[in-house]
Amino acid sequence: MRRPIDSLFGRLVVLVIGVLVLSHLAWFAVIRVERDNSQTRYAVEEAAFLVEAVRQHVANNPDQPLPSRVRVVPLNAPDVPQPASEAIPRPLSRFLDDMKDRLPDDTDVRPGEPGAPPSVWVHGAKDAGWIVVPVQPLRPPRSRDRMLVWLAIIFSTAVLAALFAAWQLQSPLRSLAQAVGRFGRGQPTPPVPERGPRELRQLTHGFNQMVREVSQTENDRAVMLAGVAHDLKTPLARLRLRAEMMDDEKVRDGVVRDVASMAHIVDQFLVFAHDRPDGSEPVSVDQTCERISRAYRAVSPNAEPIRLALEAGPSFVLPAATLDRLLSNLLDNAHAYGAPPIVIETRRGANGWVLVVADHGKGIAPDDLIKASRPFVRLDPARGGSGHSGLGLAIVERLARRAGGECEVGNHAQGGLQVVMTFPFDIATRPVAERRAGPQHEERAL
């Protein structure tokens, strides 16, 4: 199952959101602490200014009344607050400490009575009484809803901008990863646009150059192989004709068999070198499997019939020529190297249509499985005869990938070789004209 967190974009999203959450929480905490400190400093400066103003007023204009909420109380007045004997709130304690630091050292500073309007009582060494001045509330009742709303707006804007930047960064990487996947499956790979950071552009440029060089090498090899195989068909036909004219029946039959084996190898070369998409009409895979099974039974009536487990239904279709070549190569390989019964299975899988061909022979050694589908590789040197060139499984893999599918070669639990081919569900809806257009059409579509 594909998890979004495994992708580069998913991890960038988690990283960006995590960083933004931490930064906004830190910003919120710093703003709150700085706001409290600013309020305390402002309240201290305002109270100290009022105390000094009262002192000057008493010294210069003792007969003039004081402003509202500002008064001078005698030292022995009954309402003078006592020094705090219990723990007081931290904001008030910090205010009193800052107030004492702001005033001379011998100044006594006391808070007003709880429940009354906020005030501070100050008595200096030269004061005739207590100077009472109002102070601002150290923690004014402010609603946090507005701050949280602005915080949410800023956070959402930052997340959207960061996600857009992350998408811009990972989009070229995703295109390159898709192109690498297509190239690894042997499918036509159009050039990837070179965009993004400098290092990514350099990587994309190197990949495009590698694809061009590999494609050119493949084309040169295919042209050479097809030319050689095509040129051999004429002398082989003449050699077969001359063999048919031999008098010795035993020698004639041996030469004819050898010529037939060579012709089969040449045909395999031509199929392997053919690199154009199959433009034949799609046919039902289940019906074709039944038809080929009956044909093999008619050719070898004494052999054990091919077992069929066809569950895909009429929706599973493949191009006729591709399907015939797939089944003929796999069945020839199973009859030559495997053991009966041979089983053909079709079904609807989780990721696409599945076509399986299996036998019950010895299978392939686990160490040789990775080499099984390589061209011109014979896992058993004794298999060189009978017209086998080491291209059977290589042709199957190339045909399956050219049709948009995947091919997996392995041994099944009951013993024997098993070839599992998986094709996308939409293969039945692809128009024939699109398949005939080949790689150029796919490049334009992309």
Residue 133 bridge partners (DSSP): 120
247 within domain boundaries: no
Q: What is the pLDDT of residue 329?
A: 80
Q: What is the C-alpha separation between 123 and 105, in angstroms, rounded?
A: 11
Cis peptide before 341 (omega within 30 of 0): yes
Q: What is the C-alpha separation between 131 and 133, in angstroms, rounded?
A: 6
349 within domain boundaries: yes
Question: What string of pLDDT tens digits covers the 446 residues of the chain?
Answer: 456 566 666 777 777 788 878 887 787 777 777 777 787 888 888 888 888 888 888 888 877 888 778 888 888 888 888 887 667 777 788 888 888 888 888 888 888 887 778 888 888 888 888 888 888 776 655 555 566 777 778 878 887 887 787 777 778 888 888 888 878 766 778 888 888 778 888 888 898 888 888 877 766 666 666 666 656 666 777 777 777 777 777 777 777 776 676 666 666 555 555 555 556 788 899 998 998 888 877 777 677 778 899 998 888 998 887 888 888 888 888 887 888 888 999 999 888 899 999 988 887 777 666 656 555 455 554 444 444 444 567 778 877 887 788 888 888 877 788 899 999 887 655 544 444 444 444 433 33
Last residue of a domain, one of 104, 134, 164: 134
Name the pairing type of β-strands 317-319 and 343-348. Answer: unpaired
Ramachandran bin of 210, using left for φ above 0, alpha for ψ from -120 to 50, beta for the remaining angles: alpha
146 within domain boundaries: no
Q: Which of 166, 120, 226 is nearest to 16 (CA)?
A: 166
User: What is the residue whose two structure tokens read 């046919």?
Assistant: 283
For residue 200, what are its two tokens? 């990514």
Backbone phi, psi, residue 374, to 5°: -80, 140
Do 319 and 278 form a contact (C-beta atoms < 8 A)?
A: yes
Three-class secondary structure of residue 353 per DSSP: strand
Do 188 and 443 form a contact (C-beta atoms < 8 A)?
A: yes
365 within domain boundaries: yes
User: What is the residue whose two structure tokens read 């295919």?
Assistant: 222
Q: What is the pLDDT of residue 410?
A: 84
> What does the buried/exposed string (b/e) look like for 287-326 if buried means 16 or more CB atoms within 10 Å of the residue's CB?
ebbeebbeebeeeeeeeeebeeebebeeebbbbebbbbbb
Last residue of a domain, one of 94, 117, 134: 134
389 within domain boundaries: yes
386 within domain boundaries: yes
User: In total, how many domains does the chain have?
Assistant: 2
Describe the chain by its helix, strand, coil percentages, rounded to 5. Answer: 55, 10, 30
Q: What is the pLDDT of residue 446?
A: 35
Q: What stretch of H or E contains 97?
A: helix 90-102
Spatial strand order of the sheet with 108-111 comes to 71-74, 129-134, 119-123, 108-111
Domain span including residue 379 = 277-445
Q: What is the C-alpha separation between 187 and 233, in angstroms, rounded?
A: 30
Q: What is the C-alpha separation between 46 and 42, in angstroms, rounded?
A: 6
Last residue of a domain, one of 92, 119, 134: 134
Give the CA-trace dihedral at 20, 26, 31, 32, to 10 degrees: 130
User: What is the residue whose two structure tokens read 């004081």?
Assistant: 66
Q: What is the pLDDT of residue 266?
A: 62
For residue 414, what are its two tokens? 């009951």
For 64, counting Cβ atoms within 10 Å of its Cβ (0-12 exposed, 13-18 middle, 19+ buried), the class is: exposed
357 within domain boundaries: yes
32 within domain boundaries: yes
Residue 130 bridge partners (DSSP): 73
Give the CA-trace dihedral at 360, 361, 366, 372, to 10 degrees: -100
User: What is the residue whose two structure tokens read 């500002």?
Assistant: 70
Backbone phi, psi, residue 146, to 5°: -65, -40
CATH code for position 320:
3.30.565.10
